């Protein structure tokens, strides 16, 4: 799992380096910090974290509240806090906190209607503050983590069916709570050709970039869509299209293979976990990564609306990268300390 993680991280830095050496160096530094966090958590028994979870949850809420009032605006959203020489995005750092909070909660409780409501209350303050930034992509990621971990808490089929039915009924009403640019993104997904120079521009340029890479790609540093500024946010939201253009279908398949390797080991550790808390942590991390990967790649190839979700370990951004490595460090800790004793000696990470 670590090898696959490092390979994805290295690929991301290499692709970013082909367009900006300064940003690549910054990403490498963020990666070093994230790897340090990974190894610290790997050799730290995750069960010892439980007394700190409530304090981490309070800290996450405080940071998000500070962001709403003191954060600076960038590209129409207030998501970052400036610490002078570095900016942090508290919404990204809230993801591992949410995973730990829900894992600890469902370890001790059964999925009764009362407990389902309480678990939703736990994520509500964080969800609402992130949604108000506005950051729809991260807010949906938090909601998806909650839903998957709820199912993993041994939710009955009847309750699951009722919750899914309620969700499907309420989805249309969410349109009225979206900002104008979020509505335009949905419209551009449904009909990008109706305004190719306006709301449909991003989708069209992204799909052109993916298709133009063909089998082997144009080569690092030779992608015309990104170099000529046709492809927007090609180091963050649209980095998969950037990779597809410069490294082709082979490079895209390599990315998918490396992600699949991480999921393979996560599932392996999940099946051999020796206690409930560790199982739920792995489920939460897999839910987070799966949602971000599917949605990001989906919007890059034009089959899902643009939501501004980054691609884990690849997209430029320190907070996102460190948050993902923290989550994988928790999985590594479960693999080291939480597996059934008779199988610990046969598994490495």
72-74 sheet: strands from edge to edge = 72-74, 77-82, 87-88
245-271 tens-digit pLDDT? 999 999 999 999 999 999 999 999 999
pLDDT of residue 189: 65
pLDDT of 345 over the 90 cut: no
pLDDT of 349 over the 60 cut: no
- Please give the backbone phi and psi of residue 205, each rounded to the nearest 5 degrees, phi first: -70, -35
Mean pLDDT for the chain? 88
Whether 59 is covered by a domain: the verdict is yes
Whether 349 is covered by a domain: the verdict is no
Whether 81 is covered by a domain: the verdict is yes
In which band, very low, low, confident or very high, does the pLDDT at 56 lie, cut at 50, 70 and 90? very high
pLDDT of residue 344: 46
300-326 tens-digit pLDDT? 998 888 887 999 999 999 999 999 999
pLDDT of residue 191: 64
The whole-model pTM stands at: 0.91
Neighbours of 294 (CB within 10 A): 14
Residue 121's nearest CA partner among 52, 61, 49, 59 is: 61
Asked if residues 241 and 209 have their Cβ atoms less than 8 Å apart, the reply is yes
Q: Which domain holds residue 240?
A: 2-344
- The tally of CA atoms less than 13 A away on the side-chain side of residue 180 is 1
135-175 tens-digit pLDDT? 889 999 999 999 999 999 989 889 999 988 888 887 777 77
Q: What percent of the chain has pLDDT over 90?
A: 60
pLDDT of residue 348: 45
* 94, 334, 157, 264 alpha-carbon torsion, rounded to 10°: 100
Whether 285 is covered by a domain: the verdict is yes
Domains: count for the chain: 1
Whether 36 is covered by a domain: the verdict is yes
In which band, very low, low, confident or very high, does the pLDDT at 185 lie, cut at 50, 70 and 90? low
pLDDT of 347 over the 60 cut: no
- What are the residues whose beta carbons fall under 8 Å from the beta carbon of 249, sequence distance 6 or more? 213, 214, 215, 216
- What are the residues whose beta carbons fall under 8 Å from the beta carbon of 256, sequence distance 6 or more? none
Classify residue 338 by its DSSP letter.
S
Whether 214 is covered by a domain: the verdict is yes
pLDDT of residue 346: 45
Asked if residues 180 and 279 have their Cβ atoms less than 8 Å apart, the reply is no
pLDDT of residue 341: 59
pLDDT of residue 195: 58
Separation between Cα atoms, residue 237 and residue 187, nearest integer Å: 18
pLDDT of 106 over the 90 cut: yes
198-250 tens-digit pLDDT? 666 778 888 888 888 888 888 887 777 776 667 777 788 889 999 999 999 99
Whether 266 is covered by a domain: the verdict is yes
Q: Which is higher by pLDDT, 239 or 84? A: 239
Whether 286 is covered by a domain: the verdict is yes
Q: Which is higher by pLDDT, 178 or 254? A: 254
């Amino acid at each position: 799992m670590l090898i696959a993680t490092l390979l994805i991280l290295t690929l991301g830095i290499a692709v970013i380096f082909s367009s900006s050496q300064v940003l690549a160096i910054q990403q490498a530094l963020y990666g070093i910090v994230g790897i340090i966090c990974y190894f610290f958590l790997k050799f730290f028994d995750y069960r010892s974290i439980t007394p700190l979870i409530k304090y981490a949850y309070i800290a996450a809420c405080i940071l998000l509240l500070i962001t709403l009032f003191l954060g600076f605006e960038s590209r129409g959203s207030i998501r970052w806090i400036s610490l002078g020489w570095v900016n942090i995005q508290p919404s990204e750092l809230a993801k591992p906190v949410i995973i730990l909070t829900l894992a600890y909660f469902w370890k001790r409780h059964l999925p009764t209607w009362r407990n389902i409501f309480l678990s939703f209350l736990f994520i509500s303050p964080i969800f609402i503050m992130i949604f108000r930034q506005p950051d729809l992509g991260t807010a949906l990621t938090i909601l998806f983590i909650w839903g998957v971990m709820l199912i993993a808490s041994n939710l009955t089929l009847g309750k699951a069916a009722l919750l899914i039915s309620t969700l499907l009924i309420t989805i249309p009403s969410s349109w009225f709570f979206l900002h104008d640019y979020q509505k335009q993104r949905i419209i551009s997904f449904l009909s990008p050709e109706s305004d190719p120079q306006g709301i449909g521009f991003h989708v069209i340029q992204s799909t052109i970039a993916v298709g133009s890479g063909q089998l082997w790609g144009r080569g690092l540093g030779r992608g015309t869509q990104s170099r000529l500024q046709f492809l927007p946010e090609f180091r963050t939201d649209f980095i998969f299209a950037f990779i597809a253009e410069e490294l082709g279908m082979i490079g895209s398949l390599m990315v998918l293979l490396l992600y699949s390797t991480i999921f393979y080991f996560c599932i392996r550790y999940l099946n051999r976990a020796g206690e409930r808390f560790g199982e739920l942590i792995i489920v939460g991390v897999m839910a987070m990564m799966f949602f971000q990967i599917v949605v990001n790649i989906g919007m890059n190839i034009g089959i899902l609306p643009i939501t501004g979700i980054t691609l884990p370990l690849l997209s430029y951004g320190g907070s996102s990268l460190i948050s993902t490595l923290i989550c994988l460090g928790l999985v590594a800790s479960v693999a080291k300390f939480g597996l059934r004793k008779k199988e610990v000696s046969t598994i490495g990470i």
